[in-house]
Structure 1
Amino acid sequence: MEHASKLQHRNPVKTSSGWLNGLIGVVIFSGSLPATRIAVQEIGPVFLTVARASIAGAVALCIVLLLRERRPAPHHVLPLCIVALGVVLGFPLLTAMALQYVTSAHSIVFVGLLPLATAVFAVLRGGERPKPAFWLFSVLGSALVVGFAVSQGLSDGLMASPVGDCLMLLAILACGLGYAEGAKVSRTLGGWQVICWALVISLPVMLVLTAFTAPPTLAHLSWPAWLSLAYVSLFSMLIGFVFWYRGLVQGGIAAVGQLQLLQPFFGLALAATLLHEQVSPGMIGVTLAVIACVAAARRFSS
């Protein structure tokens, strides 16, 4: 039985599908920090967090009701609460608070640590055991992303904030735990079901907090703020996780988690396409090196 399970886990078709789903999830997540940065300039971080969770939770509730999805078993409740604390409340709130002190560009430094955090929790919570070479390429890839982000910040004259840095570090730990825990329970509950039920479980609390933290009026919000709120509510909080958790289950938490190393560069590509910002040769070189690290980490992930 165990041997058959390993063969199934290593099924090339299933693994490739996992990497594709994971890649789609990362592309969706790449717009989260810039959108949060835009929204938090006009919306308080606490209200932004609970409002986006309430919107996503309401949509998730409609989905499970329309599809008549069976309720989670009792042993799923605690893992779903951990997922909710990690990715529904923890990461959005901590990043929204951090982005009051640091720029979205500076936050890339910490995004580069997210694959490592996910891999560590994959071992602690998911029972995965990557080979030693995996950790070598994972650390190398993270170092490349962090080094690139730091060099960009220094060249742009960006100043670090100890408060913002601490909040971002806590956000990364919360997110890594939420990713690994969600992927673990997705093995038996299903990927889209996990994020939907985590949102539904947190919905009553989020609705109450939304009512208490809502400003007197939202008439002053600009269209970019409204669009950013819509993006982080529907795509960052719900749609992206449908692909992401499916990918983590199919391809392995630690392995597919390395795709997060590419997230900052998808953001740069987006900026170059939509904002016509210049992409330097160094940017391309680092991106290629990170892709090589991701490919190597995938090879030694199990």
Structure 2
Amino acid sequence: MRTQDSATATSTIAVSATEQTVTGPPAATGRGPSGPDTPTGPAAPGPTASAPALATDPVGRGTLLAVLGVVSFSLTFPSTVWGLESFGPWSLVAVRSTLAALIAGAFLLGGRVPVPERRHWAGLAVVAGGVVVGFPLLTTLALQTSTTSHAAVVVGLLPLTTTTFAALRTGRRPSRTFWFAAVSGAVVVIAFTLQQSGGAVSRGDLYLFGALLVCAAGYTEGGRLARLMPGWQVIGWALVLCLPLMVPAAAVALAVEPVHLTAHGVIGLVWVAAGSTFFGLYVWYRGMASIGIPKASQLQLAQPLLTLFWSVFLLGETLPLAAPLAAVAVLVCIAVTQRAKS
């Protein structure tokens, strides 16, 4: 609980500093405790009629960032399928992680970001194992036998899984209304999944369920760390932490698995590396730090529906007839969880 209290206090100070910059005296020159978001320069302008509302609304801004993360993640599975046209599953995961780590390292070096304190490295290792290695690897293996649409609805259980991990990790207990809406959304996703797969559980489903567990752990720990350091630094250091492992893994995988470069394959690789792994996690962790892990995780209930759209638009897959009904039910659950006390 001391860790959580400290994180909450840090987040409150950072928000207060931002509000003071908008309404108070000139800001000091230099980097503040909240990283690159802290204004620098001789003075900060006062409020104006044209100032964006989100500048003084951290909750609205955090929701927008989390939504951007969900949109980025919704393209991950179609991009992975494209990437598999050119690379083997192990090569794709190792190369995407290596490229993302190089991008993150460049940003960290360019910003002269200090190395995190020793007490944060255990949490960064959880983030790395969950969202940098575990989730990409397990879902890529699953997509060799599962369709994008099927994988998307299974991963729709991620919000509830993340909320459960967050409750266990932080000690916070969302309200009964929140839990009822979250479980209802999960039931809709499960029913949709079983209806599409004929009630059977395949090896691909086992990969996907494993991906849910490791990703939820990574999201929860990343959301906690994002209250102590900027979100882009959380994913940045987690990626860099994996670099010594991913570089040799990429070299071995590329030597063993065949490579057939195509336009789709290259685009898919670039997106899962720069779009999903770096940008998506960057805005996602910042959003979780602003609005809280439980509410941010419930926004992800919309991710399967977005992925279904991309699977039809980009991959030409057939949209299941039950998708519109599932969409309405899931969006209702999202609305309830966003209004419920968490």
* Common fold: TM-score over 0.5: yes
Query: Residue type matched to 1:191 in 2?
Result: G
Deviation at 1:286, TM superposition (A): 2.8
1:37–1:103: 8 Å Cα contact kept in structure 2? no
Deviation at 1:250, TM superposition (A): 0.6
Q: Percent of aligned pairs with the same residue? A: 37
Q: Partners in 2 of 1:30 and 1:264 — Cα distance?
A: 7
Deviation at 1:274, TM superposition (A): 5.5
Q: Partners in 2 of 1:250 and 1:85 — Cα distance?
A: 24
Q: Name 2:295's counterpart in structure 1.
A: 255
Cα distance, 1:164–1:296 mapped onto 2, change above 3 Å: same
Query: Residue type matched to 1:294 in 2?
Result: I
Deviations along 1:20-55, one digit per CA (max 9) or x if unpaired, are 111110001001112112323442211111110000
Deviation at 1:279, TM superposition (A): 6.6
* Higher percent of residues as helix: 1
Counterpart selection for 2:208 from 150, 164, 168: 168
2:213 match: secondary structure: helix
Cα distance, 1:8–1:67 mapped onto 2, change above 3 Å: closer
Greater shift, 235-244 or 36-45, is seen at 36-45
Q: Partners in 1 of 2:299 and 2:310 — Cα distance?
A: 17
Q: Name 2:242's counterpart in structure 1.
A: 202
Q: Name 1:65's counterpart in structure 2.
A: 109
Counterpart selection for 2:144 from 100, 112, 122: 100
2:62 match: secondary structure: helix
Cα distance, 1:82–1:276 mapped onto 2, change above 3 Å: closer
Q: Partners in 2 of 1:277 and 1:90 — Cα distance?
A: 26
Deviation at 1:185, TM superposition (A): 0.7
Q: CA RMSD in A?
A: 2.7
Alignment size in residue pairs: 295
Q: Partners in 2 of 1:133 and 1:27 — Cα distance?
A: 26
Cα distance, 1:287–1:162 mapped onto 2, change above 3 Å: closer
Q: Partners in 1 of 2:318 and 2:252 — Cα distance?
A: 43
Cα distance, 1:109–1:271 mapped onto 2, change above 3 Å: closer
- List runs of 5+ in structure 1 lacking aligned partners: none
Greater shift, 290-299 or 207-216, is seen at 207-216
Q: Name 1:269's counterpart in structure 2.
A: 309
Alignment TM-score, normalising by the size of structure 2: 0.79
**2:57 maps to 1:13:** yes
1:137–1:294: 8 Å Cα contact kept in structure 2? yes
Greater RCO (CA < 8 Å, at least 6 residues apart): 1
Q: Partners in 2 of 1:216 and 1:174 — Cα distance?
A: 27
Query: Residue type matched to 1:284 in 2?
Result: P
Query: Residue type matched to 2:191 in 1?
Result: G
